[in-house]
Amino acid sequence: MILDNAYLIYGDVYCLLPLENGDRLISAEFKCGYNAILNLKKTELIEGVVYVASPFD
Please give the distance of CA 19 from its chain centroid, rounded to a whole number: 3
45 close to 22: Cβ distance less than 8 angstroms: no
Using 50, 70 and 90 to split pLDDT, how confident is the model at 8?
low
The pTM (predicted TM-score) of the whole model is 0.72
State residue 7's pLDDT score. 62
Residue pLDDT, tens place only, 21-48: 999 998 988 988 888 877 777 899 999 9
Give the separation between CA 39 and CA 35, rounded to whole angstroms.
Answer: 10
